[in-house]
Structure 1
């Protein structure tokens, strides 16, 4: 994988994690972060340039969805937290 491609993939991964943490609901937040990590790890050993390009294109589309849903989630938050969540100080 070229340096530009690996930089692009790393940037996508960071954005997934960053925007996944913006969900107000613990369940959506945890699912998005866990699913993002799993998806990137499962494709980590791919060497085919065509497959990598299709994975990047799909990841960019999915990132747009995560960004949009995280923004909507923040608009309609109720302020209540689940017991499993760490209290915010």
Structure 2
């Protein structure tokens, strides 16, 4: 028997903002834009979930993904990337 924890809209919004904040830390334009786009798309796809068990599953998986994103953003900051043509100089 699994325990389902109720997550409020405020919790999900805080998680979403954490994703955006950490995705913005990537030095490389391509990685940064990919993770920002992936975050927005993932949360949009799951915004209409009403089943508490599915919300809990999504929230737990998102927390694991956020931990990975944080680690990768930290590693990304250790390296210097030249600006691409599409970035402002």
Distance 1:4 1:46 in 2: 12
Distance 1:77 1:45 in 2: 39
Q: Superposition pairs for residues 1-89 of structure 1, below 5 Å?
A: 4-78=7-81, 80-87=82-89
CA contact (8 A) 2:25 2:32 kept: yes
Task: Measure how far apart 1:33 and its partner are.
Answer: 0.3
Structure whose residues are more often helix by fraction: 1
Structure 2 unmatched runs, 5+: 1-5
Structure 1 unmatched runs, 5+: none
Normalising by structure 1, we get a TM-score of 0.89
SS at match of 2:8: helix
> Which runs of at least 4 in structure 1 moved beyond 4 Å after TM superposition?
none
Normalising by structure 2, we get a TM-score of 0.89
